[in-house]
Amino acid sequence: MSMSKHLIALMALLPLASGCAEHSKAWDDAWAQCENEAIEQMEIAHPDPDQRATWQENYIRECMQKKGFKQ
């Protein structure tokens, strides 16, 4: 399959993927708060550079759970 056919196939899937990613405003607001907290706490915790993404994901997951949201 040529590259252009791959791109067309991927573009056809985008509406399906974006539909799965929709959340309520409350969820989006909580996520933004947790993400901001994670960034602030990461500056204090100083995780190893290769662990930063995992550290941030774990922080956000725990924060969202504390707020009553499940991923």
Question: pTM of the full predicted structure?
Answer: 0.66
Residue 5 in domain:
no
Residue 36 in domain:
yes
Residue 60 in domain:
yes
| Count of domains for the chain | 1
- Confidence class for position 3, pLDDT limits 50, 70, 90: very low
Domain span including residue 30: 23-71
| HSE value, Cβ hemisphere, 13 Å, CA-based, for 2 | 3
pLDDT tens, residue by residue, 34-53? 999 999 999 999 999 999 99
Residue 8 in domain:
no
Residue 33 in domain:
yes
Residue 58 in domain:
yes
Residue 7 in domain:
no
Residue 53 in domain:
yes
| HSE value, Cβ hemisphere, 13 Å, CA-based, for 1 | 8
